Amino acid sequence: MKRFMSTIIAFGLMSSAPVRAAEYYANKSIEMLIGADVGGGYDIYARLVARHLGKYIGGTPTIIARNMPGAGSAIAGGHLARMAAKDGSVIGALMPGAIMGRLLDERASNLFDPTKFVYIGTADSGTRICLTHKDSKVKNYTDAIANKVIFAASQAGGATRDYAALHNHATATKFEIISGYKGTSDILLAIERGEVSGMCGFDWSSLKSQKPDWIRDKTINILVQDGIDPEPELTRMGVPQIWSFIKDETDRKAVQLILSQQLFGRSYVVPPDTNRDAVEILRKAFTAAMQDHDLLADAERIRIGITYSSGEKLQEVVQRVYASSKEVIDRAKRIIEP
C-alpha cells in the first residue's frame, strides 16, 4: 500500500510541474526593458525577441517592449537592480558596456553589480567594425594609422566611444573622437551629413540591418573587424582583424578581455534574486525561441543574424572576466580611455 501511494505521489509531482509552469505566467504580461534608443540595433533585436518569446512561455504572456535609454544602458541596469520586480515579469536588454563597465571604467555606475544579474541568454555575439564614409581620406586600416580622422561616438561606456579609443591606444590609429551623440542612429545620420568621417564599435549585424544599401553601394569603407574569432563574411570581403595590428602582448590580452564583452552582444537579463522557477521558464523559452522558424525568418527579413548562447554560459563568462588579473584589467581600463 505504501509503495502504491508513493507511486501516486511521484506521478502527481511529475504531472503537475508543467501545469505550474503554465500557471505561473497565465494572465500576466512581461516588460522588455530596452536600455537603448528606438531604432538602433539593440532596439531591433529586443523587439524581435519580444515578438516571439511569449509563445514558448506557459500561459503565453504578452511581452511589452519599453525603451529606457541612457548612460550606455546603465540607467536601465540600475532600474532592473533596484526597482524591478523579481518575479520574472521584467526582462532587461542591456548593452555590453553596462555589463563590462564596472570592471573597466572606474566612473561607471554603481547602481548595480553585473555579476548579480541572472542571465537568460543572448541572441547575438557578433563582430564589431570600424568604418568610414567612402569620401574619407581613410580608406583602409593602414590609412587610419597614418592619418587623423574625425569619428563620432556616444558617451562613456558606449561601444562607439570605447572601441575608437581602444584602436588608438592598442594600434596607434589617429581617430579624433567626438563624443555625445545619442546613439548609433544619430551617428549614422552624422556620417551621411558629412559631420564626421566614421565610427568604431558598430555591430556588423546592425549595419546589415540598418544600412544594407551602404554595403551594397559601397558607401562606406570597412576598416577592421573586432572579434575574438574572424567573421567569415567580413573575411571573404578582405576586412582584416584587429590582431594583425597589435604588437604588445599585454595589449593583446587587454583587448581580448574587452572583446569578450561581445558575447553579451544582445543579452537579456532579469534582476538579481529573481524567482528561480521564473528563471528556469525564461531560459528554456529563450532557447526554444532562438530556434523558432518564424523568429529566424523574421530576423532574415530585417537582415540581422542570430548567434545564440545560453544564460548559463553568459553567467559563467561574466564571472570569469570579472576574475581577470589586475595587470590586464588596468591596461584594459587605460586602452578604452579617449
CATH number at residue 61: 3.40.190.150
132 and 121 in a single domain? The answer is no
CA angle centred on 75, ends 71 and 78, rounded to 5°: 135
Region 103-125 average pLDDT: 87
Where does residue 59 fall: left (phi above 0), alpha (psi -120 to 50 degrees), or beta otherwise?
A: left
272 and 313 in a single domain? The answer is yes
162 and 243 in a single domain? The answer is yes
DSSP 42: H
Q: What is the pLDDT of residue 229?
A: 85
- CB distance 58 to 18 below 8 Å: yes
Q: What is the pLDDT of residue 21?
A: 65
118 and 138 in a single domain? The answer is no
98 and 35 in a single domain? The answer is yes
95 and 165 in a single domain? The answer is no
Nearest Cα neighbor of 166 from 83, 106, 37, 254 is: 254
Region 121-127 average pLDDT: 91
d(CA 180, CA 187): 10
Query: Domain end: 241, 260, 279, which one?
Result: 260
For 110, the grid coordinates are: 554603481
49 and 136 in a single domain? The answer is no
98 and 154 in a single domain? The answer is no
| More confident call, 137 vs 96 | 137
Nearest Cα neighbor of 141 from 16, 29, 245 is: 245
d(CA 314, CA 10): 34
Domain that includes residue 98, residue range: 2-125+264-335
Query: Domain end: 260, 278, 307, which one?
Result: 260
Region 95-106 average pLDDT: 83
pTM (two decimals): 0.73
293 and 276 in a single domain? The answer is yes
Place of cell 583602409: 140
9 and 113 in a single domain? The answer is yes
Residue 183 is part of a domain; what is its CATH number? 3.40.190.10
Q: What is the pLDDT of residue 234?
A: 97
Burial of 11 from C-beta contacts in 10 A (0-12 / 13-18 / 19+): exposed
Burial of 240 from C-beta contacts in 10 A (0-12 / 13-18 / 19+): middle
173 and 62 in a single domain? The answer is no
118 and 142 in a single domain? The answer is no
For 266, the grid coordinates are: 544582445
d(CA 248, CA 332): 13
Number of domains making up the chain: 2
Query: Domain end: 203, 228, 260, which one?
Result: 260
